[in-house]
Amino acid sequence: MDENSYNLELQLQALQKQQREAETTLEALKREQNDQAWLEEDFARICHEEQEAMAYLREVWQSSKATNFGHYLEDVHEQEKASWRKQFQAKEEAIQTKLATCQKTMHQLDKQQRSIRKELIQ
C-alpha cells in the first residue's frame, strides 16, 4: 500500500467515525422528537381534563363573584395553553432544524466516503 492509499484509508476511517457520530446524534434527535410528541399528547389530554373541570365548575358556581372567577380561570388557562403550544412549536422547529442539519451532514459524509472509495479502487 502506497502512502496515498494509506492517507485515503485514514481519511475514510475518520469519515466513517464522523458518520457513526452523526447517526448517533440523529437517533438521539429522533428520540427527542418522539418524547416531544408524547409530551404534546399528554398536554392535550390535560387540557381536555381541565376543560371538563371548568365546565363542571360553571354548572356549580352560582354567584357573580364565582362566575367572574371562573372567567378569570378560563383566561389564565387559555394564556397558559397558548404559551405551552408556542414552546412545543419552537422545540419542534428546533428539532427539525437539527435533524435537517444532521441528515445533510450524513449525506456529505457519505458522498466523501464514496469519493475516497472510488479513488482507492482506481
Q: What is the pLDDT of residue 1?
A: 62
Query: Given a cut of 90, is residue 27 above it in pLDDT?
Result: yes
Q: Give domain status of residue 7, yes or no.
A: no
Q: Report whether 25 contacts 102 (CB < 8 A).
A: yes
Q: Give domain status of residue 75, yes or no.
A: yes
Condensed to tens digits (0 to 9), the pLDDT of residues 36-65 reads: 999 999 999 999 999 998 888 888 877 777
Q: Give domain status of residue 98, yes or no.
A: yes
Q: Give domain status of residue 78, yes or no.
A: yes
Number of Cβ within 10 Å of residue 115's Cβ equals 14
The one-letter amino acid code at 55 reads: A
Give the up-direction half-sphere exposure of residue 80: CA atoms within 13 A in the CB hemisphere: 11
Within the chain, residue ranges assigned H as helices are 3-60, 64-121
Query: Given a cut of 90, is residue 22 above it in pLDDT?
Result: yes
Which contacts of 42-49 are long-range, i.e. CB under 8 A and separated by 24 or more positions? Answer: 43/84, 43/88, 47/77, 47/81
Tally of structural domains, the chain: 1
Cell of 86: 408556542
Query: Given a cut of 90, is residue 110 above it in pLDDT?
Result: yes
Condensed to tens digits (0 to 9), the pLDDT of residues 59-102 reads: 887 777 777 888 888 899 999 999 999 999 999 999 999 999 99
**In terms of Cα–Cα distance, which of 98, 28, 29, 51 is closest to 43?**
51
Query: Given a cut of 90, is residue 24 above it in pLDDT?
Result: yes
Looking at per-residue confidence, does 4 or 111 come out higher? 111
Q: Give domain status of residue 4, yes or no.
A: no
Q: Give domain status of residue 88, yes or no.
A: yes
Whole-structure pTM value: 0.77
Q: Give domain status of residue 6, yes or no.
A: no
Q: Give domain status of residue 52, yes or no.
A: yes
Cell of 68: 367572574
Which domain does 107 fall in, by range?
28-111
